Structure 1
Amino acid sequence: MLPEQTRLCIVSGVALQMQRELLWYKEVESMVQPSLREMKNKQGKTPRDLFTEEHAKLMDKGERWMKETASQCMVVAALITTIMFAAAFTFPGGNNQESGHPIFKNESAFLVFVITDAISLFSSSASILMFLAILTARYAERDFLASLPIKLMIGLLALFISITAMMIAFSASFFLVYTKGMKWVPYLITGLAASPVVLFVGLQFGLFYDVVRTTFSSRFLFKPRRHMLY
């Protein structure tokens, strides 16, 4: 049976609420006798049929929530991919007109810029693929157990890495440009660039923590850990 809303709100996100209900169903199923799992009630419904019927609306809401979350995150990842792809061919300071090589190629900050730009590009691309996989999923009941939450977790982690790397690349470019005079500018920009990363962690950490905890700690979700001494 579908629990009260206050019980569902223990975790954030409707899809994770559906995952919690599936885990609870499997926990109860493992405790009863095998013959009872296929028994039918007066309406001729098995426990699984009744669970599917009672959680139909929750599953539909979970699908919409997952698709909306993936779509919004995918837009952000696509913007980062576009920006970092363009930045890979527009180096700070420009190129040498004779050799065509970047002017600051021997600077350590330039190496940081190139590496973080590539990391941001690759991680944002991976994030797009994860969110695309969520949008094109079949959304069966068992997909809410691990498949969809893991894809969401990887997508959020890749998006966080891409944002962090983008901010580092942005800061490194100022260390290249302001090499002489106004050396306080790169440090100020670096401090300001950290604010989006901190904001992203503060806003999305709760969701990410719930996904990891529910998905990878499902064995101990409804019973205490048992430590054995050997």
Structure 2
Amino acid sequence: MMQRGHKGDYLEEPLQKWKEMSSRVAHKLPLFGVEGIKSIRAQKLRHAQAVKLLQGICTELRNIKPDRVLGYRVHQAVIQAVKKGNVEFVTRMIKSIPELVWNGDINDRNIFSIAILNRQEKIFNLLHGLTNVKKMKVTSADDRFGNNMLHLAAMLAPSDQLDGISGAALQMQRELQWFKEVESIVPPICKDVLNSDGKKPSEVFSQQHANLVKEGEKWMKEIATSSSFVAALIVTIMFAAAFTIPGGNNDKGAPIFLDDPLFMVFIISDSISLFSATTSVLMFLGILTSQYAENKFLTRLPTKLIIGLSTLFICIAAMMIAFCAALAILLKKSSTKVVMIPIILLACVPVTLFALLQFPLLVNIFISTYGPGIFDRNIQRWY
């Protein structure tokens, strides 16, 4: 049998395996290592260099009067920045060449109209940093098709903007939020102005979002159908559990473990689960029988979905607590009570799975409906 001549030879193979494993981990988790720090530093350096370059360009543009070709190129660059939502580039360029605010593209649309059409809220929010006179001038402008800002807000958002929102109902809600926000800043007469096709903004909105309304209705009904089935099943289980209490009753009909604190935990959690499951069923039934008009997607339907999902989460959690309490009552004086801990831990699995699968959706719906929103009117005067 071959023998190793040096003591270090015994460590060579384990060390080699450790190095290989470390390299694989570092490759899979670059953000937590030196490479991640270098990447972040490189991004900051590139941003700083881009800012310096932009400052130099703006300084040169202030010192010279752009000719027709240069002015066209600058305007096209600003339009592309608006479509991408690059606020810093847009603001610095406009401060250098103020005429960029009023210049239109080939369709006579200013930068704020383009921002509305491309759903770039950060650029659109800059509108509130203008004076009232300038804001009125910007919001009253029409494009060459007779569309005002409200007509543009009524058009369907680009697919890349809608894809970032989960669920057709939330996409419809975001479209309504855009329409309502633009409607609040344009002159009242813009609501009834006809474009070149002879349509009002509300008519354009209904036509452009007809398919999205159908998809939103289908999405909400699918969630309501599957969730109401689970809630109805829990109602049946918890109602039966309330009358088949742990340990049974004595000769007088009173529960045997009535004086046990765990019995009160069982009764309370069973009642909470039953009531919340019933509420969840009613909410989802309301969703299934609701009128799916366009304006209902703004707050009414999302609120029903929030209540339904919240009460469903509560009833599942309370059901698991009731199960654990009943198990603890039955096994408290038994020699097999050691199995209580793993069973209670397993009871946490359904609650955890529901939290991981449905809780993010619930949070998104709540923030989208009752959160601060994507629009900011507290913009300081910048132009």
Partner SS state of residue 44, structure 1: coil
Cα distance, 1:6 vs structure 2? 2.2
**Which consecutive unaligned segments of at least 5 residues does structure 2 have?**
1-154
The question of 1:168 aligning with 2:317 is answered: no
Aligned to 1:27: 181
The question of 1:202 aligning with 2:356 is answered: yes
Cα distance, 1:223 vs structure 2? 2.0
Partner SS state of residue 220, structure 1: coil
Aligned to 1:111: 264
Which has the higher mean CA deviation after the structures are superposed, 71-80 or 98-107?
98-107
Partner SS state of residue 173, structure 1: helix
Residue 41 of structure 1, aligned match among 176, 195, 206: 195
Which has the higher mean CA deviation after the structures are superposed, 137-146 or 177-186?
177-186
Q: Distance in 1 between matches of 2:186 and 2:264?
A: 61
Aligned to 1:142: 295
Q: Distance in 2 between matches of 1:224 and 1:168?
A: 46
Q: Cα distance 1:186–1:226, how it changes in 2: closer, same or farther (>3 A)?
A: farther
Q: Which amino acid aligns with 2:262?
A: A
Q: Distance in 1 between matches of 2:319 and 2:185?
A: 50
Q: Cα distance 1:226–1:166, how it changes in 2: closer, same or farther (>3 A)?
A: farther
Q: Distance in 1 between matches of 2:317 and 2:245?
A: 19
Partner SS state of residue 49, structure 1: helix
Cα distance, 1:107 vs structure 2? 0.9
CA contact 1:84–1:166 (8 Å) conserved in 2: yes
Q: Which amino acid aligns with 1:118?
A: S
Aligned to 2:286: 133
The question of 1:52 aligning with 2:214 is answered: no
Aligned to 1:191: 345
Cα distance, 1:94 vs structure 2? 1.4
Partner SS state of residue 170, structure 2: helix
**Which of structures 1 and 2 has the larger relative contact order (alpha carbons within 8 angstroms, sep 6+)?**
1
Higher alpha-carbon Rg? 2
Q: Which amino acid aligns with 1:170?
A: F
Q: Which amino acid aligns with 2:279?
A: A
Q: Distance in 1 between matches of 2:206 and 2:164?
A: 21
Q: Distance in 1 between matches of 2:249 and 2:182?
A: 66
Q: Distance in 1 between matches of 2:164 and 2:363?
A: 13
The question of 1:7 aligning with 2:161 is answered: yes
Partner SS state of residue 279, structure 2: helix
Q: Which amino acid aligns with 1:188?
A: P
Aligned to 2:11: none
Q: Distance in 2 between matches of 1:187 and 1:108?
A: 18
Q: Distance in 1 between matches of 2:353 and 2:378?
A: 34
Partner SS state of residue 271, structure 2: helix
CA contact 1:13–1:207 (8 Å) conserved in 2: no
Cα distance, 1:220 vs structure 2? 3.4
Q: Which amino acid aligns with 1:9?
A: D
Q: Distance in 2 between matches of 1:225 and 1:93?
A: 63
Q: Which amino acid aligns with 1:190?
A: I
Tell me how many residue pairs correspond in the alignment. Answer: 225
Q: What does the per-residue CA deviation read over 1:82-133, in whole Å, with 9 as the maximum and x for residues that have no partner?
A: 000000000111111x112111111111110010000000000000111111
Aligned to 2:172: 18
Q: Distance in 1 between matches of 2:176 and 2:352?
A: 33
Q: Distance in 2 between matches of 1:182 and 1:16?
A: 50
Q: Which amino acid aligns with 1:42?
A: S
TM-score (norm 2): 0.57
Partner SS state of residue 243, structure 2: coil
Q: Which amino acid aligns with 2:292?
A: Y
Q: Which amino acid aligns with 1:184?
A: V
